[in-house]
Amino acid sequence: MAWRGWAQRGWCCGQAWAAPGAARSCEELSAALARPRLLGRRFNFFIQQKCGFRKAPRKVERKSDTGTSGEAYKRSALVPPVEETVFYPSPYPIRTLVKPFFFTVGFTGFAFGSAAIWQYESLKSRVQSYFDGIKADWLDSIRPQKEGDFRKEINKWWNNLSDGQRTVTGIIAANVFVFCLWRVPSLQRGMIRYFTSNPASRVLCSPMLLSTFSHFSLFHMAANMYVLWSFSSSIVNILGQEQFMAVYLSAGVISNFVSYVCKVATGRYGPSLGASGAIMTVLAAVCTKIPEGRLAIIFLPMFTFTAGTALKAIIAMDTAGMILGWKFFDHAAHLGGALFGIWYITYGHELIWKNREPLVKIWHEMRTNGPKKGGGSK
């Protein structure tokens, strides 16, 4: 019975009808298989593999559904290799932007609301911190000093930093940490999914924020962090620590949303990562507020120019790159960050930050009154 079943399936007896010798060998095999429990399932499987016909396994080719090959991404060394990553662009591209839009609006409101509460708590505890600082200085003066105290050296270095430099230290540390995660091979797929922004990815919203702290290239990260460190004192003096953090985080999400819109409109899907969009906001805000400030290129310090001229040149270059489809940078994200920085310094500060009083009053009442005791009804 087992041999007849194989003959019907064309496993071994496909050649038996043409060759009598083959039929005889097949009869011997069928007789052997007719014996009960000769060698069990393993023997049946061995005969099936040895004597039968097997179709060669088909090679599965993984193609990107975006219609673009991996060569488009290889042109830039700033992004990870994603040739084998499968993207899933929506058949209705406009619907792809719905969730990112609401995420951008909601996160921006959350960032500025949290910054307002953070500033309230900082002002409330400033007096206590002042007296704690006086006490600490007095204890240091009467306590015997230790030579080569590493902690004291760190505290001395930290106290010598400006408010802006202390503020961006945490941002730089986060970028360095994420950069180290990129070096772990087992994390590559997860990093591409959550730390690169792409409207063709299944995860759309969280990468808009996480990619702001993500760099695959050491040169890319070093250049961005140097610019952020250089402009940190100016931007924090203009906005304050709390407002700066709200602007920086919101800028990262907003610039990525502009990048999404450009990619969907042009059909040029691909991953983007880096803090360039948020840093462009910082740069544009400082240049708009202090247009007569003098700037210089790091490699050519002998050539100086005004901040206003530098901002115009950057906007012109990113506009040309977005129109012409240059792939080395995400010019749409750069342009979106720069325009957001200009808008915020010109109008956004008045519309958003100066209207935070209702929220602060609600938070003050919650902190002052607290939950009512008793809870009985009158």
pLDDT tens digit string along 41-84? 444 443 344 444 444 444 433 433 333 333 444 445 667 766 54
Summarised one tens digit per residue, pLDDT across range 12-26 is 444 444 444 444 455
Identify whether the C-beta of residue 273 lies closer than 8 Å to the C-beta of residue 210.
Answer: no
Distances in whole angstroms, Cα of residue 155 to Cα of each of 122, 160, 274: 21, 9, 30
% of the chain surpassing 90 pLDDT? 43
Distances in whole angstroms, Cα of residue 114 to Cα of each of 51, 126, 175, 293, 360: 72, 18, 22, 32, 10
Q: How far is CA 79 from the centre of its chain?
A: 11
Identify whether the C-beta of residue 313 lies closer than 8 Å to the C-beta of residue 256.
Answer: no
Q: Which residue has the tokens 């489809």?
A: 325
Tell which wins on pLDDT, 300 or 215.
Answer: 215
pLDDT for the residue 243: 95
At residue 190, does pLDDT exceed 70? yes
pLDDT for the residue 95: 85
Summarised one tens digit per residue, pLDDT across range 246-282 is 999 999 999 999 999 999 988 888 889 999 999 999 9
As a whole number of angstroms, the distance between CA 287 and CA 116 comes to 25
Helix 218-239 and helix 241-266, axial crossing angle in degrees, nearest 10: 130
- Choosing from 215, 220, 331, 334, the catalytic residue is 334
Note if 201 is an active site residue: no
As a whole number of angstroms, the distance between CA 271 and CA 72 comes to 11
Note if 259 is an active site residue: no
Indicate the average pLDDT of the chain. Answer: 77
3-state secondary structure of 174: helix
pLDDT for the residue 12: 42
- Choosing from 197, 211, 272, 276, the catalytic residue is 276
Domains of the chain: 95-131+163-369 (1.20.1540.10)
